[in-house]
Chain A
Amino acid sequence: MIKLDGGFIQNLGRVYGLYTLGFLGFVILMAIFEAAGVSNTVIGWLFVAFTVGIYAMIGVLSRTMESNQYYVAGREVPAVYNGMATAADWMSGASFIAMAGGIYLKGYPYMAFLVGWTGGYVLVASLIAPYLRKFGCYTVPDFIGTRYGGNLARFCAVVILVVASFTYVTAQINGTGTVAARALQIPFELGVWIGLAGILFCSMLGGMRAVTWTQVAQYIVLIIAYLIPVFWMSNKLGYGLIPHFAQFGAVERVQELEALLGVGSMMPTAEAQAEAGKLAALKVGINDASDSLMAKWKFFTLVLCMMAGTASLPHVLMRYFTTSSVKAARQSVGYSLLFICLLYLTAPALATFTKLSLLDPNVATSIIGKSVAEVSNLEWIQQWSNVGFLKVVDGNGDGIVQINEFFMRGDIVVLATPEMAGLPYVISGLVAAGGLAAAMSTADGLLLAIANALSHDLYYKIIDPKADTKTRLVVARIMLVVIGAAGAFVASMKLTGILGAVAWAFCFANSGLFFPLVLGVWWKRANRAGAIAGMIGGFAAGAWYLYMVQFGGMTPWAGIDGLRFGMIGMPVSLVLMVVVSLMTEEPDAETQKMVEEIRVPSGKTIVQQ
């Protein structure tokens, strides 16, 4: 049994090395089981039980009653491991399950997410994370509350954090439910609650400490699960050993095919689309970077919103509170990005190879151009049609599947790839375990961010400053369960698709928190009144705009749709914060001195908890 005491940090390489080998051994064992005739359902169950069991075990072993361990993992997480944990914290069900499918269906414009979700880390490293680490806070509202002073500023930050993170967490619990339902063959609603139980096991007893070490374990599972099928496909299709380099040749072939099959010109008929409901046909090419000003503007605004959101989402920023120094926090941002890129560099390759396997008539697995009868008889088509993930609608009645007659949910690009490409079921089980790891790790980080803000900032700092450590940590755990249950309840009602809600979270965060955080470090003159005006004004403007565009029937201004409402919230927040700060008195000498100290890496943290 692994002991999580002083020796643990020194032995991390050995512990996680053994764990990785153990996991690979388990995958091989499952492959042997499959060859021996064990049913797919049993293999699916074993994958979920084995991985979730390990996470839960780590969670239990990391239990703690010390506030420093519970809130910031004792500030002893090495930069590389914090990078891995951040990558798992960061890459959600949306990245793992929906990203490649989005690129598949929506083509080049969708790749703005890839640029935005990686480039945001440059802002994290250069503007925010190292300074917050020096500050020594437990939560993001803790920084806002101490830097600007007063309960109102702290409270505003807590509200924005809760709204942004809760929007995000429902999407993750939804993702957990989707994968669990598929792998375990149980109803979605039940999957949601089982997923929640797993998530709580990882976070409840040990807080940040437990979440950190499970996230590292989850990263290892998710990255293995993402990479193996893509490498396999690239080699099977004969494009080369390394998909990342092989994909460019494949893209050119895909572009030829897309032109030939009429992607972008052959739109689904209205009746066919009505029959397919929310499923989508392929309408945008993989490399259709239009030269229109609107297309460029939309790419730019999406990139900007996702970047600023990355730099203001509390569950990401709080990961850098756990490193041992300011220097390590900076390096850790680099490692985070490196580990994130491993997956994000692979997503376009996966989308491209999936396109080839479905579109290219020279490939055995292709379906476009074949007869409807033949396609409908394929096992994977039947399986995924049954659960409502895809549909073939013969719009023109000629008995042949055209590009505008095949409708699908983007998620199946990742989830069904193994079956589509004719890989053994063990790979499907592996992918399910990876998707589960991705959704669970993000849900853990988000739930913890919310619960910590409520217990530390709202309860301890505002309501009962005299509370002892034990009470605070009990409150923190009660909050975790309550928020988790609320998230699972909302998710079980299936209100939004995975990605809609995720992009909203980024825009809520950047509308309300980006400028108060950045200017708190970089502009000494920023004061309480300005920060409060910036938070309330930016957040309210963004939320109002989202409501009007999404539900109020308003035509978006200049192409700024519900995914980009940060383009409204952020300028409002910036202008209000600067104007109100300048109109009111400058911060007192003590606050200004505090800001100067944040800027010096060495020495003690500002806040001593």
Chain B
Amino acid sequence: MSSKQNEHWTKTKSLTTTTLVIWAIISFVIHWFGEGLNSDAFPGAYFMAGMGSQVAFAVLVFWFASRQNQIDEEFGFGEK
């Protein structure tokens, strides 16, 4: 593997790790609080499961795609 490929893969791995950490927080950590998200003013548990997490996932995927694309282009691995 060329050093260029190596470096590209290191950056890709680090982006993927970051993405998966954020993913794990939105998927598991937040929902572990369950009832703790609810308050008298707002149904937080219902909100997170019904809307918050879903929207966050969509934003995360688009962010990931654009970051990965930047990495690919930086190393000349981008596509037309």
Choose from B35, B50, B61, B72 the contact partner of A122 (Cβ within 8 Å).
B61
**Chain A, 309-367, CB within 8 A of any chain B CB:** 325-327, 330-331, 333-334, 337-338, 341, 344-345, 347-349
Task: Give chain B residues whose Cβ lies under 8 Å from the Cβ of A307.
Answer: 27
Binds B, one of A194-202, A286-294, A449-457, A542-550: A286-294
Report the bound CA distance from A160 to B80 in whole Å: 36
Chain B residues lying within 8 Å of A121, measured Cβ to Cβ, are 57, 61
Q: How far is the CA of A326 from the CA of B71 in the complex (A)?
A: 13
Binds B, one of A21-29, A36-44, A107-115, A206-214: A107-115
Is B58's CB under 8 angstroms from A599's CB?
Answer: no
The answer to whether B9 touches A289 (Cβ under 8 A) is: no
Residues from 240 to 254 in A contacting B, C-beta threshold 8 Å: 244, 247-248, 251-252
Number of interface residues of A (CB under 8 A): 53
CB distance from B39 to the nearest CB of A (A): 11
- Contact at B79–A327, with CB atoms within 8 Å? yes
Interface size on B, residues (CB 8 A): 45
Q: Which of A111, A123, A289, A327 has a CB less than 8 Å from the CB of B38?
A: A289
Q: State which of B26, B28, B46 has its C-beta within 8 Å of the C-beta of A348.
A: B46
Supposing A121-B61, A244-B51, A330-B69 touch, asked if A126 and B45 sit within 8 A by C-beta, the answer is no
**Do A115 and B58 touch (CB < 8 A)?**
no
- A-B contacts at CB below 8 angstroms, number: 144
Stretch at the interface among A295-303, A381-389, A573-581: A295-303
- Interface of chain B residues 19 through 54 with chain A (CB within 8 A): 19-20, 23, 26-28, 31-32, 34-38, 42-43, 45-47, 49-51, 53-54
Residues on A close to B: CB < 8 A?
108, 111-112, 114-116, 118-119, 121-123, 125-127, 130, 244, 247-248, 251-252, 255, 286-287, 289-291, 295-296, 299-300, 303-304, 307, 325-327, 330-331, 333-334, 337-338, 341, 344-345, 347-349, 596, 599-602
Between-chain CB contacts (< 8 Å), 22 pairs: A108-B46, A118-B54, A118-B57, A121-B61, A122-B57, A123-B23, A130-B68, A248-B43, A289-B35, A291-B36, A325-B79, A325-B80, A327-B65, A327-B78, A330-B68, A330-B69, A331-B65, A348-B46, A599-B12, A600-B77, A601-B78, A602-B78
